[in-house]
Amino acid sequence: MSDVGRNNPPIGTPCNAWGTYAANAAGATITAQAVAANGYSNAVDTKNNPFLSVFGNVSGGSTINLQYSADGINWTTTHTVTASGAGDFYIDATCGAQFARLQSTSGVNAYATIQAKG
């Protein structure tokens, strides 16, 4: 097995989908973002890196959909996770599409990161 690209950092900064992240002397401050019911996250260009990790936190029950797009305009739901209440969520997936984003079915406060690696 080749190690080419193995030590490259993943694409995607903390809270690139929902919320904000600020490094500070104490470590970091993460601020959740208000997400409307059926609201979408920022889209992330995976730059042809097929292995996705999506993780974050919601303030209440919601279904989180991972969506893919080839053109950044037309989206398809591909993976789903249901949070029954406030707490963390994650999705690991293999993606051939160029863009990925999240959708929350309920109005919640959320922060989330989408990272991709080749």
* Total-model pTM: 0.90
| CA 33/CA 79 separation, integer angstroms | 22
Highest CATH level, class, for 20-117: mainly beta
Can you say how many angstroms the Cα of residue 107 is from the centroid of all Cα atoms in its chain? 17
Question: What residues does 67 pair with on adjacent strands?
Answer: 77, 101
Per-residue pLDDT tens, the chain, 118 aa: give them: 555 656 778 889 999 999 999 998 988 999 999 999 999 999 999 988 999 999 999 999 999 999 999 999 999 999 999 999 999 999 999 999 999 999 999 999 999 999 999 8
